[in-house]
Structure 1
Amino acid sequence: MKCALITGGSRGIGKAVCIQLAKDSDYHILINYNSNEAAANETLKLVEAEGNTGEILQFNVANAEQVQSVLTNWQENNPKAVVEVIVNNAGITKDGLFMWMPAEDWNSVINTSLSGFYNVTNFFIQKLLRNRYGRIVNIASVSGVKGTPGQTNYSAAKAALIGATKALAQEVAKRKITVNAVAPGFIKSDMTAELDEKELKSLIPINRFGEPEEVAHAVSFLISKKASYITGEVLNINGGIYS
């Protein structure tokens, strides 16, 4: 059984990626979620509605021990399963001006996006290398490419994720493992629900927020055989707001 693991797969971009991969591939979809079990089950139903299989895995990507124990347990129960695809999508925002930013808001955002990437990817990387094939896609952000005021923590986390993407890509390329990132701009999701879309869309050349599916199509392409010669790349999906 070949599997694709999507972290933060219950809502928003992660949910759209789970559904798109269910449509475009025959991977068994592993939907990771942290707190919203109902949303994760809903995503699973939509994956199955595409005629594909999946299951949900509950862990907080920022909690190294939890990641280790849940994934070890899953692997022991599914000895023949091979995770070929990892989509590191889990992320949180705790916006505020840097001068007033509590340490907790700095640490939790960095730990989810950046340490979460480490905890999940590091668990599987030796298996991918032995298997001599793999696809890793990291969901970064326009904030990590250009920096967004009021999001110093999130910008730092996503910029670091881009650096990690480029470095790891070079380490594992000989084993037919590609590592890429996508950097979405303003995408309609829970994360952007508080933003004033009317006001902000005037900043976007395409003059609208993006849909989660528009990010998911790009992720689906990057995990496919068609993208075998693309690695260490950062694809901006932002309606022209920054490139």
Structure 2
Amino acid sequence: MQDLEKSRQQLVTANRILANEGIIQGFGHVSVRHPDGDKMLISRSLSPGLVTEDDLMTMTFDGEIVENVDASPYLETVIHRAIYRNRDDVGAVVHHHAPQLMPFVASDTEIKPAFHMAALFHEGVPTFSDYDLDYGRLIATEEEGERMAEVLGEKRGQLLANHGANVTGSNIKEAILATKYLVMNAQYQFQAEQLGGTTYFDGPEEALENTIDDAILAQISVDRMWSFLSDRLP
């Protein structure tokens, strides 16, 4: 059960980091795959900056609540559940509406790596727009979730048209870092494009993958950034 307790503690920290960094404000959520592999941990419907371990729920990928059953879940837990159902490699999911990304979800401008940390997204950031009409631009039905997961495919992140973004990671630290870098990239890309003559971080596939594996996602780098973000918590 040590892995479960560690996952719970990291999930609380992840919620606090996302709130402290201004990535998730009153709305948005983060989850982590349960160590058993067949369900997930996520907070009850609550502003992430207030989340404690007592607020955590355990939920199957079909939506059955098996821990903290009296708590009210987020409406859009299907975002997380659909991704886990379709991606065995994903260990954590962040759904957010960071202000820096909103110009991109409201336009057809493609996200491109404007700095080296955004090499994580060099394969592209697809946009989902095939919503059901019942809930407007929310992902609330199982069918929407499946279509959304299909658009995500094997990519690390996606935009939701006129809504927000999803980011995945093999574990919760990686998902938080990838989310932070995507938000930073959106800000840098937007600012650079105002200047004109924007250049992007690209190159041979092997070089990009080496940057990701040996630098950005090297354990020492992940732990260093996680420590930086968590040490900034009030």
Q: TM-score, normalised by structure 2?
A: 0.29
Please identify which structure carries the higher helix content.
Answer: 1
Q: TM-score, normalised by structure 1?
A: 0.29
